[in-house]
Structure 1
Amino acid sequence: MILIVPHDVLRPRRPDEHFAAEAAAARDIGCTVALVDHDTMATGDGADRATARVPAGADAVYRGWMLSSTAYAAFADALAARGTTLRTNSAGYRTAHELPGWYEMFAGVTPATVWTAGTDRSDFDRACRELGAGPAVLRDYTKSMKHYWDEAAFLPDVADRDAAWRVACRFAELREVVEGGFVLRRFERFVGTEVRTWWVDGTCRVVTAHPDTPAAPVPDEIDIPPLAPLVAALDLPFVTVDLALRDDGRWRVVELGDGQVSDWPAGMPVTVLVDLLARH
């Protein structure tokens, strides 16, 4: 396995500090580690230049900062031209990284969701009508602004179109680039903290705390089995599924993501993750 990580912005011959421990762990078990220029790749241009130091190899895994689906496709194409094959292809990355790619499969175990194509007000109003009156949470195809909960995430009642639109406008202002369009998810009340499950080849291999609450204990009883056929049906090599316990005692899918750009919780040994990827 070739592990590809972003380089340090100031010291390009070293891994980005956030991924340095993963890089060291990979080297310790004999994996090749290659560095790429994330900032150049993220622009969607210059992928050939950004990947110039990646050697040829049939099995490469990226562990780094998020890339848009378009930038990831350029990244994958640039590597393919060098004889390097990412374990997750560009279509698979889009499926996991963008909510519309995985929602239909998980509709029964995740909050009801509608979305727009772009940021047009009329399409936003259509989405509000489709979801129906009541509270909702706003995000785009790839990310929320949950740290700005009251001003750019929570919609007390989507039936109040003007108030909902003000939240959407603030979201767009803070987000700067809205990925895909607006996503409205029916608000559900959760208890406790989220947990992150790590799936390789359709099987849950590790359950961790969520990176936002790395010190939180992981509950002993998490209802994983009902998710297994859903994740397997995606036919993706490496994904994460974030779960939260609803106030009625049911575990719900909060988010699904590509495992390559999913953060690992601080305080948990990165050797667990690297060994997992190297073995499968």
Structure 2
Amino acid sequence: MILIVPANPLRPRRPDEHFAAEAEAARAAGFQVAVVDHDAVARGCDVHRAVASVSGTGAAVYRGWMLRSERYAAFAEALAERGVVLRTSGEQYRRAHELPGWYAALAAVTPASVWTRGSDQADLDQARVALGPGPAVLRDYTKSMKHYWDDAAFVPELDDAVAVWRVASRFLELREDDFVGGFVLRRFERFTSAEVRTWWVNGDCVLIGPHPDSPNERPSVEVDLESLTPMIAGLGLPFVTVDLALRADGVWRVIELGDGQVSDRPTTIEPEAMIAALLGPPRP
């Protein structure tokens, strides 16, 4: 297994500082580490040059910054031409990275959601009517702007078309060219715990820890994965994260599913634990 990480922009032969500890842990465990020019991949320009320093052949896992689904697919194709096969295909990455790809499989354990294709106001109006009255959270296929909660995320009442579009407009302003797919409206649910990030490899939960936004906060009760496990296994995705929170009625709910390759590791999880869970024991 090869671990691929973004290169340091100032020292392109070295890993980006954010992923350096994981790269070091992988090397210590006996795995090969390669770096790629993330900015070139993200821009879609000269992807073959961006992966030119990746040597060797075989299976690989990426641990790096988020990529749009179409950029990831081009990245995977360029690596495949060099004999390096990302364990997560382009199609699998899109299903994990974009909410419409995973929502149906987890609808029973996550807030009710509807979405649009594109950013047209009329389509958003249809979506809000379909979800029905009440509060909601607005996002796009891959990300919310929860740090701008009142301005660009929380919708107090979906029946208020003017207020919904005001939040959506601010969301578009903040996301700019990073807007992905369309608007998503998710029924607002009240949670009483910090989020928990769970890590899954081939349908098995291999690591449970805090969310990167609250690395020192842990729930007061044990996370219950019994009903969730067969759902995640049924997705057939090789490496994902699932963020969970405890709802006010004591039920664990899925906040987000994401591709594990571009999910951040909280500082309170040691890189060695991440590598051991992700890559398994070193080859002899």
TM (normalized to structure 1)?
Answer: 0.98
**Residues 134-186 of structure 1: CA distance to partner in whole angstroms, max 9, x if unpaired?**
10000000000000000000000011011100100100000112100000000
Where in structure 1 do 4 or more consecutive aligned residues deviate above 6 Å? none
Counterpart in 1 of 2:243?
242
Counterpart in 2 of 1:25?
25
- Note if 1:272 corresponds to 2:268: no
Q: Contact conserved, 1:114 with 1:127, CA < 8 A, in 2?
A: yes
Amino acid at match of 2:124: F
Q: Structure 2: where are the runs of 5+ without partners?
A: none
Counterpart in 2 of 1:254?
255
CA distance in 2, matches of 1:218, 1:208: 10
Counterpart in 1 of 2:161?
161
Amino acid at match of 1:122: A
SS of the equivalent of 2:227 reads: helix
The Cα shift of 1:217 comes to 2.4
CA distance in 2, matches of 1:37, 1:56: 17
- Note if 1:184 corresponds to 2:185: yes
SS of the equivalent of 2:223 reads: coil
Count the aligned residue pairs: 280
The Cα shift of 1:277 comes to 1.9
Counterpart in 1 of 2:13?
13
Aligned residue runs from structure 1 range 88-107, under 5 A: 88-107=88-107
Q: Contact conserved, 1:7 with 1:16, CA < 8 A, in 2?
A: yes
RMSD: 0.9
Counterpart in 2 of 1:122?
122
Counterpart in 2 of 1:59?
59
Counterpart in 2 of 1:47?
47
Amino acid at match of 1:51: V
Amino acid at match of 2:167: V
Higher mean alpha-carbon deviation, 145-154 vs 220-229, is at 220-229
Q: Contact conserved, 1:241 with 1:253, CA < 8 A, in 2?
A: yes
SS of the equivalent of 1:33 reads: strand
CA distance in 2, matches of 1:218, 1:55: 43
Q: Contact conserved, 1:199 with 1:240, CA < 8 A, in 2?
A: yes
Residue identity (%): 62
SS of the equivalent of 2:192 reads: strand
The Cα shift of 1:45 comes to 2.6
CA distance in 2, matches of 1:28, 1:239: 24
CA distance in 1, matches of 2:194, 2:150: 19
**Residues 35-59 of structure 1: CA distance to partner in whole angstroms, max 9, x if unpaired?**
0011110012321111011113221
Counterpart in 1 of 2:224?
223
Q: Contact conserved, 2:244 with 2:253, CA < 8 A, in 1?
A: yes
CA distance in 2, matches of 1:10, 1:159: 50
**Residues 88-146 of structure 1: CA distance to partner in whole angstroms, max 9, x if unpaired?**
00000000000000000000000000000000111010001101111000000000000
CA distance in 1, matches of 2:267, 2:137: 27
The Cα shift of 1:220 comes to 4.4
Q: Structure 1: where are the runs of 5+ without partners?
A: none
Q: Contact conserved, 1:135 with 1:155, CA < 8 A, in 2?
A: yes
The Cα shift of 1:238 comes to 0.5
SS of the equivalent of 2:35 reads: strand
- Note if 1:37 corresponds to 2:22: no
TM (normalized to structure 2)?
Answer: 0.97
Q: Contact conserved, 1:208 with 1:218, CA < 8 A, in 2?
A: no
CA distance in 1, matches of 2:160, 2:45: 41
The Cα shift of 1:219 comes to 4.1
